[in-house]
């Protein structure tokens, strides 16, 4: 089920129009990301031979969805760097230190979308500005719409999941250590992973 526009297959090919599914249009609104049921994480190669996975336990954000026109949709996310969790306390401490995120000085990683587009079916691309430390660079995130539901508490929810690859050095995260056998301790390439559940806000009176 596509979240945004669907092509009207009954229309003549020379005058094709876009028809809005009423059920999808009803999803239009502002949604708050539910951190208890969402995950923002990363995967990075360690010592050239294995992957280390981590996540940020504290984050908040807002999605503004337009069920008729994806170009009018937007996303805003704030991630608390100090909440990083890789399962190893010493490693987490190193990540928040000056060698990496310098979390005391730069406590948040932020994303602010600038454009949104439907790629086909339930797949979408959101492009925006990712800020880490004092560096802001453009980033495109490919997402899949997982659907909508009303939970047992009456909350209207939507779900998305997706990922994108970045080079951490583009955001000034350059710490590394050379290995005796060649290569480096931490790869420059990092995969960012998003699994988002968001709750629709009540309409304002």
* Dihedral of the alpha carbons of 119, 73, 153, 204, in degrees to the nearest 10: -160
In the chain, % of residues over pLDDT 70: 87
Contact call for residues 28 and 20 (beta carbons, < 8 A) = no
List pLDDT tens digits, range 13-68.
333 344 556 666 778 999 999 999 999 999 999 988 899 999 999 999 999 999 88
In the chain, % of residues over pLDDT 90: 75
Lowest pLDDT segment from 77-81, 113-117, 124-128, 201-205: 201-205
DSSP for 27-54? T-EEEEE-GGG-EEEEEEEETTTEEEEE
What are the two backbone dihedrals, phi and then psi, of residue 202, each rounded to the nearest 5 degrees?
-65, 140
Residue 151 pLDDT greater than 50, yes or no: yes
Tokens describing residue 45: 């190669």
Contact call for residues 123 and 142 (beta carbons, < 8 A) = yes
- Average pLDDT (165-175) is 96
The H or E element that residue 94 is part of is helix 89-96
* Confidence grade of residue 204 (pLDDT, cut at 50, 70, 90): low
Task: Quote the pLDDT of residue 23.
Answer: 63
Task: Quote the pLDDT of residue 9.
Answer: 41
Task: Quote the pLDDT of residue 24.
Answer: 67
Q: CA nearest 145: which of 129, 125, 165, 131?
A: 125
Residue found under tokens 């050239």:
48
Tokens describing residue 66: 């337009």
Residue 137 pLDDT greater than 60, yes or no: yes
Task: Quote the pLDDT of residue 17.
Answer: 40
Ramachandran area for residue 128 (φ above 0: left; ψ -120 to 50: alpha; else beta):
beta
CA distances from 76 to 4, 65, 126, 130, 171 (A): 19, 12, 11, 10, 19
Tokens describing residue 105: 């000085």
Tokens describing residue 52: 């280390």
Task: Quote the pLDDT of residue 202.
Answer: 79
Name the average pLDDT for the chain.
Answer: 88
Task: Quote the pLDDT of residue 201.
Answer: 92
What are the two backbone dihedrals, phi and then psi, of residue 89, each rounded to the nearest 5 degrees?
-60, -40
Pairwise pLDDT comparison (20 vs 97), residue with the higher score: 97
- Average pLDDT (167-179) is 94
Task: Quote the pLDDT of residue 21.
Answer: 61
Task: Quote the pLDDT of residue 67.
Answer: 80
């Amino acid at each position: 089920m596509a979240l945004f526009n669907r092509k009207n297959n009954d229309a003549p090919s020379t005058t094709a129009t876009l028809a809005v599914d009423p059920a999808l249009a009803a999803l239009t609104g502002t949604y708050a990301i539910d951190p208890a049921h969402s995950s923002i994480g990363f995967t990075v190669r360690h010592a050239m031979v294995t992957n280390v996975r981590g996540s940020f336990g504290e984050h908040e954000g807002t999605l503004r969805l337009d069920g008729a026109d994806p170009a009018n949709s937007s996303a805003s996310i704030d991630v608390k760097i100090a909440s990083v969790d890789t399962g190893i306390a010493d490693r987490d401490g190193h990540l928040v230190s000056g060698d990496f995120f310098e979390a005391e000085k730069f406590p948040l990683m932020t994303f602010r979308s600038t454009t949104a587009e439907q790629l086909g079916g339930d797949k979408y691309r959101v492009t925006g500005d990712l800020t880490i430390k004092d560096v802001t660079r453009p980033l495109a995130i490919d997402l899949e719409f997982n659907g909508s539901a009303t939970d047992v508490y009456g909350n209207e929810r939507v779900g998305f999941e997706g990922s994108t690859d970045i080079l951490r050095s583009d955001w000034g995260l350059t710490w590394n250590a050379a290995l005796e056998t060649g290569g480096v301790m931490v790869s420059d390439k990092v995969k960012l992973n998003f699994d988002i559940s968001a709750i629709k806000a009540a309409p304002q009176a």
